[in-house]
Amino acid sequence: MTPTTPDLLFARLLGRARLKHLQLAVHIAELQSLQKAASAIGLSQPAATHALAEFEALLGTPLFERHARGMRPSPAGLALLPLVRNALKLLHACAETAASMQHGATGLVRIGAIHAAVAGWLTQALPVFSRTHPDVAVEVHEVPADQLLQMIEANRVDIVLCREPQPLPEGHLFTPVRADHYVVLCRNGHPLAGQAHVSDDDLRAHTWLVPPLTGIAPAEFNALCVRLGGAPRTCQVSSRSALLTQAMLDSGDLLALSPHHFARPLLEARLLTHLAVPHMAMPPLGMLRRAAAAADAPSAVARLAESLLAWHDIAAR
C-alpha cells in the first residue's frame, strides 16, 4: 500500500473505523486467538475475520502474525496496540465521567499516587474534600513511582501525588506540599524500641529488610550502610506494601528504612514503632499536574488541587 500522511490516515480512521475494531484487536492480542477474541466480544468468527482485515486495511499494515498456536502481534502491532488500548481506556474514562454526572457529580478527577502520598496525605485530605465537595467524583489509583510516568503519558490521571520526577514531564508543574523524612521501623517489642538513643553499632548489629529495588530508597539505604561502617545483614524480601512490611517486622527483630508518610497509619495505630536515630531527610511529597489544568480555576481538577495544596507543610525557602 502506498504510504499516506498522518492527517489522511487519521481522517480515514475517523470516517471508517469502529469501536469493535479496537476492541477486537486488543482481545486478539490478549487471547492470542481470533476465535476466542470473537467469542469474547460477541462476534462470529467470519465477522471477526472480516473486521480485522478491515481494520488492518485502514491502518495499511498487518497487526498480527499467524503461528501454530494462534496469533501474535506483528512489529506494527507491537507499536500500535498500546495506543489502541489507551484509546479504549480513555473511552472508558469518558463513560465513567458521564455516569458520575448522571448521578449528580459535576466532574471526575483521576488521581495517581504513590503509597506514601495515599497513607500520609490523601487519607487525611480526601475525606475533608469529599464532605465539602460531594458533587465531585474522585478516582484514586495507587501505583509505584516508576509507573506514574506511563500513566501521565497515557493521559490516565489528572493529578499525580509523588516526589518530584527528574526530568519533569513536559507541560507539567510540580508543587512540593508535604515534608517527609526517613524513619527506621521495627515491631513494638523490638530490643531497640523505646531507647532514647540508638547507636550506629546497634543498627549495624541487626538484620534489615532490603528496600524496594527501584526509586530513591536503595541509594539512601546504601548511604546509611556507609554511615554505619559497613552493610548489615539483610532479609531479602523487598516490598512497597505497608501490610507486608508490618508482617515481616512482626515476625522477628528486623529493621526497615521507610519514608515516614509511608508508615504513618501503622505508626499512628501503634502497630509499629520507629527508633530514635538522627534525622534523615528525603524529598517532599508534592503535586504534579498539567500547567493548563492549573490555570483552569472553575474545574473539578482545580478545586481538588486547591484543597490538596491546603495541606502544605513545607517550610518557606
What confidence tens digit (pLDDT) does each residue in 183-226 have? 999 999 999 998 999 999 999 999 999 988 777 778 888 888 89
Collapsed DSSP state (helix, strand, coil) of residue 5: coil
Cell numbers representing residue 244 in the block: 507486608
Measure CA of the first residue to CA of the last residue in the chain; give whole Å.
60
Q: Confirm or reject CATH 3.40.190.10 for domain 181-281, answering yes or no.
A: yes
Distance CA 187, CA 274 (A): 8
Q: How far is CA 266 from CA 84, 185, 191, 207, 212, in A?
A: 41, 10, 19, 21, 18
Q: How far is CA 96 from CA 105, 238, 247, in A?
A: 11, 35, 36
Q: Which residues of 188-220 are buried (b: 16+ CB within 10 A; e: fewer)?
A: eebebbeeeebeeebbbebebbbbbeebebeeb
- Among 178, 184, 209, 170, which residue's Cα sits nearest to residue 113? 178
* pLDDT confidence of residue 294: 60
Q: CATH says 106-179+284-309 is which class?
A: alpha beta
Contact 159/304 with Cβ under 8 angstroms? yes
By the 10 Å C-beta count (0-12 exposed, 13-18 middle, 19+ buried), 17 is classed as: middle
Cell numbers representing residue 222 in the block: 546504601
Collapsed DSSP state (helix, strand, coil) of residue 67: strand
Q: State which amino acid sits at residue 140.
A: V
Q: How far is CA 91 from CA 84, 98, 155, in A?
A: 11, 11, 12
| Span 6-91 CATH architecture | Orthogonal Bundle (1.10)
Q: Is the four-CA dihedral 238, 183, 216, 110 of positive or negative sign?
A: positive
Distance CA 200, CA 87 (A): 53
Q: How far is it between the farthest Cα atoms of the chain?
A: 76
106-179+284-309 and 181-281, same CATH topology: yes
Give the pTM.
0.68
Q: What are phi and psi of 34, to 5 degrees?
A: -65, -40
- List the chain domain ranges: 6-91, 106-179+284-309, 181-281
Contact 162/289 with Cβ under 8 angstroms? no
Distance CA 143, CA 121 (A): 15
Contacts (Cβ under 8 Å, ≥6 apart) of 205 = 232
Q: What is the pLDDT along the chain (317 residues), one digit of tens a residue?
A: 566 788 888 888 889 999 999 999 999 999 999 999 999 999 999 999 999 999 999 999 999 998 888 899 999 999 999 889 888 887 887 777 677 666 555 678 899 999 999 999 999 999 999 999 888 889 999 988 888 888 888 788 899 999 998 888 888 899 999 999 999 999 999 999 989 999 999 999 999 999 887 777 788 888 888 988 888 999 988 888 999 999 999 998 999 999 999 999 999 999 999 999 988 999 999 999 888 766 555 688 888 999 999 988 765 43
